[in-house]
Amino acid sequence: MFTGIIQSIGRIHEYEARGADARMVIFGGGLDFSDVALGDSIAVNGICLTAVALTADSFTVDVSAETLHVTTGFMPGAEVNLEKALRLADRLGGHLVSGHVDGVGTVHRFAPAGESQLLEIDAPHDLARYILRKGSITVNGVSLTVNAVSGARFALNLIPHTLEMTTLRHLQAGSRVNLEVDMIARYVERLAQYMPAQFTQATDKD
């Protein structure tokens, strides 16, 4: 589990295709690896990956074909948002993030709004029902609050601190981004599918 609070901006140093899979070496950008062990999870642009090798300033991950197919941002030399896995004693500064990307969105607009930046993203149609005003969403691993929703398009406001501490400052119209919707919305939908019919009928009458 993660919080969506980025701890470092890393960089993909090596990218080795292994059939349909890949192995990557990622520089940590100052991320403290002293409490990271082999097998631990690190979120890379919002994607939960397992460290299979470690040095003082880098870690290595294996990425499956499925992960490569449903995510974006794994280009050699690319900057990436990094977050170590949440510990039970940590502050939950963002929201509960699984690191399992739900889909890839496309930036519609990225423009100044006072001292901040307005970010509008077109989400995949099947994710739109999970995105609501003042709800949480993860964009390239960053926990953000949705300010407005229109169909499958939603708007966010990025404050200067977020721009400074993440790779989101590099976005532009047409950029593709990893999206993870609020997991609570998914659980609510699943529970509703199994809600007893008599309870549903009683609620409808109230």
Query: E strands along 70-164, which residues?
Result: 79-84, 103-113, 116-122, 136-139, 142-150, 153-158
Where do the CATH 2.40.30.20 domains begin and end in the chain?
8-84, 103-191
CATH architecture of the domain with residue range 8-84:
Beta Barrel (2.40)
**Which residue has better confidence, 187 or 103?**
103
Comparing CA positions, the residue from 1, 23, 8 lying closest to residue 57 is 8
Q: What tokens appear for 183 in the block? A: 């997991």
Rounded mean pLDDT of 191-203?
63
Closest CA relative to residue 170, chosen from 124, 134, 139, 125: 139
Indicate the pLDDT class of residue 201, thresholds 50, 70 and 90.
Answer: low
Length of the chain counted residue by residue: 206
pLDDT, position 205: 54
Beta-bridge mates of residue 84? 42
Confidence of residue 206 (pLDDT cuts 50, 70, 90): low
CATH of domain 103-191: 2.40.30.20
How does the average pLDDT of the chain come out, rounded? 92
Question: Which of 40-44, 46-50, 89-93 has the lowest average pLDDT?
Answer: 89-93
